[in-house]
Amino acid sequence: MEEKQHKRRVHYSGKYPRKFEEKYKERNPEKYADTVAHVISKGSTPAGMHISIMVKEILDVLNIQPGEQGLDCTLGYGGHTRKMLEQLQGEGCVYGLDVDPIESRKTIERLRNAGFGEEIFRFRLTNFANIDQVAAEVGKFDFVLADLGVSSMQIDDPSRGFSYKIDGPLDLRLDPEHGESAAERLHNITRDEFVGMLVENSDEPYAEEIADKVFNLMKKGDPMDTTTALRQAIESALWKVPKEEKDQAIKKSCARVFQALRIDVNSEFEVLYTFLEKLPNILKPGARVAILTFHSGEDRLVKKSFKELKKAGIYSDISEDVTRPSAEECRVNPRSKSTKMRWAIKGDT
């Protein structure tokens, strides 16, 4: 009789997967409502999903009516789009734009599964700087939303390189299939150009020190091609900061440096400027616009554009000041803290 070979039991590797790709709950948050609710209640955003910011405030401004045609310039996770679609009550249409081919596919499927078919929700894979092309195809809009923030799904995915907190390739592109990555960008600019980028895009107070460290390391042959490599360079550059201030200083500088690179790699200021210039021409008389910004440079551009166009008689009314998320929203969703909303209404002519 043949002896039965003993099979070793598969070793239990632990309760929590080590790699992002293995975190099934985070990759499929819709299937784990209890887990998601628990994470949100603690003031965190579940990995792999995005909590929409200032939904009530946006809907109040846009005042969406059944039968209208709207535009979500930055589809992202689709949370704002879904709420706008609900306001239409089955009549009208919302167009969603996004440059991210990876996340937009998931969002389209999510909205289709929620019952929003092609007759009421349509998608265009394009940058929102191209709103004139979209309007030329489908007509002008009654309401427009532009949420300029990076989606949490992008931040939480190490392969996208948006976060200094987790190791991954230094990429930072909203569309990873086109253009230079942040690592390539660093190797193609000068030290002085990097300083200018840090100052202009994020008001980085240690721009000179960080640029010196990054370019000295690259000159020695150290590749600056991962999020960890850049974070460590920033940490090393701030060695003179007093010990009791160092942790916070490093955290803030890391956030600012990654922001500055992301803005540069994706030409965010140029895109926003083009969008604001084209915006009035895609609006119907009386159309409402809401724009969410997340740093002072964006807000300054929006404020200046709205004021100039109201003075010219193109907008009949604009927000005199920014609207910010409530204290409760900031508690539940800390990523909303830096948000500012401005709105405008197109004149009747």
Q: Which residue has the higher pLDDT, 15 or 245?
A: 245
pLDDT value at residue 24: 35
Q: Could you read off the pLDDT of 64-94 as tens digits, one per residue? A: 999 999 999 999 889 999 999 999 999 999 9
Q: Average pLDDT in the 205-209 region?
A: 96
Q: Identify the burial level of 152 via C-beta atoms within 10 angstroms of its C-beta, where 0-12 means exposed, 13-18 middle and 19 or more buried.
A: buried
Inform me whether the pLDDT recorded for 39 exceeds 80. Answer: no
Question: Is 137 or 28 the better-scoring residue by pLDDT?
Answer: 137
- Predicted confidence at residue 156, as pLDDT, reads 73
Rounded to two decimals, the pTM is 0.81
132: pLDDT strictly greater than 60: yes
Closest to 155 measured CA to CA, from 84, 8, 258: 258
Residues in the chain: 349
Q: Which residue has the higher pLDDT, 162 or 319?
A: 319
Given a cut of 50, is residue 18 above it in pLDDT?
Answer: no
Residue 66 near residue 88, CB atoms below 8 Å? yes
Most confident among 21-35, 41-55, 318-332 (mean pLDDT): 318-332
Give me the percent of the chain exceeding a pLDDT of 90. Answer: 70
Q: Output the DSSP codes for 53-82.
A: SSHHHHHHHH---TT-EEEES--TTSHHHH
The confidence score (pLDDT) of residue 180 equals 95
Residue 296, pLDDT score: 86
pLDDT of residue 30: 57
* Rounded Cα–Cα distance for residues 1 and 5 (Å): 12
Determine the average pLDDT of the residues in 100-129: 94
Cβ contacts of 42 within 8 Å, gap of 6 or more: none
pLDDT (0 to 100) of residue 34: 55
Q: What pLDDT, on the 0 to 100 scale, is given for residue 335?
A: 76
Task: Kindly report, residue by residue over 274-291, the tens digit of the pLDDT.
Answer: 999 999 999 999 999 999
CA distances from 53 to 6, 22, 270, 341 (A): 56, 28, 24, 10
Least confident of 49-63, 153-167, 229-243, 245-259: 153-167
Domains detected in the chain: 55-152+270-346 (3.40.50.150), 176-265 (1.10.150)
In this model, does residue 123 exceed pLDDT 80? yes
